[in-house]
Amino acid sequence: MAPLSNNQKLLGRYAAYLKVEKGLAAQTLAAYGRDLQQFAVFLGERPLAEARRDDMRRFLDNLHDHAVDGRSIARKISSLRGFYKFLLLDKVIRHDPTLNIDSPRQWKILPKALTSGEIGSMTDATRAKSDTAQAKAIALRDRAMVETLYAGALRVSELTGARLMDLQRDAGCMIVRGKGDKERTAPLGQVALEAIGEYLRDGRPRLAGNRQSPYLFLAVGGHGLTRHRVWQVVKAASKDGRHASPHMLRHSAATHMVENGADLRTVQTILGHADISTTQIYTHMKLDHLKNVFRKHHPRAQRAI
């Protein structure tokens, strides 16, 4: 068996680091590996550890010359940055060749949003699958989760991390912990509060059993819910319509608020965005909505004059 090349050893160590320390899925690891292998081929006989900033620039120019789209180039840059940061921290290299390499300007991809009718269909789809007390308790929990994700525009991690003490029903809101462990207040509408109240009264005690748990939403046996389980609940609730995800409920909440006249600063606060430029994408969605309404209803939009 031929000995491993230096490139193979470094890539193997990096893949193990990403899998163990970062918990990345096999599909993501494979994508990173393809990006790094492509750069290794570009370098030819020179090892990855000897790459310079000029190599990075020539590699990017080559991708542009071959009409690789901006999103793919940005992903490859991200893969290379992560790899060389790892080598730098591991003292394999002394200088990071990706330093000050800018990502290409990308078209903003508008997040997908559900209609109000589709949201209603999802909450209706959380009905109990049988007449058992446990099935009814799970249905109450699932409906409350869908309503809370949409009403509060929550991330899935914010929902799974929500505790009983974070819920402030009298004030109509809950405290959530977002990215960077930053706290914010998420307002909840009357519909979500009623769903949560019914779950707390008739569902959560059945799921908790004899177990004491600080978490608001529980699995059977009183354990906290995983992110994967929340995804399963949302997917199952949307099986009769468009495939939905927890993040689509968050996007839908923001989209509907902007479409109904909410100002961006308020939406930014509700979503917990650190920078309003992240929130501004919803102004594009509002513009698209206005264009669609115009094309559908304006008498001069459909035919030539």
pLDDT in tens, 280-290: 777 766 666 66
Give the pLDDT score at 1: 36
12/281 Cα distance (integer angstroms): 38
pLDDT of 37 > 80? The answer is yes
CATH class as words, domain 6-89:
mainly alpha
Residue range 136-174, pLDDT digits in tens: 999 999 999 999 999 999 999 999 999 999 999 999 999
| DSSP assignment letter at 187 | E
CATH class as words, domain 116-294:
mainly alpha
Average the pLDDT over 83-88 and give the result. 94
Give the pLDDT score at 164: 96
What is the reported pTM?
0.62
Contacts of 247 (CB under 8 A, 6+ apart): 111, 155, 156
- As given in the structure block, the two tokens for residue 50 are 């000897």
As beta bridge partners, residue 183 has 177
Give the pLDDT score at 24: 78
Average the pLDDT over 20-42 and give the result. 88
- Work out the percent of the chain whose per-residue pLDDT is above 70: 89
- Worst-scoring range by mean pLDDT, 179-183, 211-215, 223-227? 179-183
Give the pLDDT score at 107: 43
Average the pLDDT over 27-56 and give the result. 92
- As given in the structure block, the two tokens for residue 290 are 């206005």
Reported in sequence order, the residue ranges of 152-281 that DSSP labels E, i.e. its strands, are 167-168, 173-177, 183-187
As beta bridge partners, residue 186 has 174
pLDDT of 217 > 90? The answer is yes
CATH 1.10.443.10 range(s) for the chain read: 116-294
Per the CB < 8 A criterion, the answer to whether 101 and 57 are in contact is yes
Mean pLDDT of the chain: 86
Average the pLDDT over 22-39 and give the result. 88
Residues designated catalytic: 155, 179, 247, 250, 273, 282
Give the pLDDT score at 106: 47
| DSSP assignment letter at 181 | G
Give the pLDDT score at 104: 59
CATH 1.10.150 range(s) for the chain read: 6-89
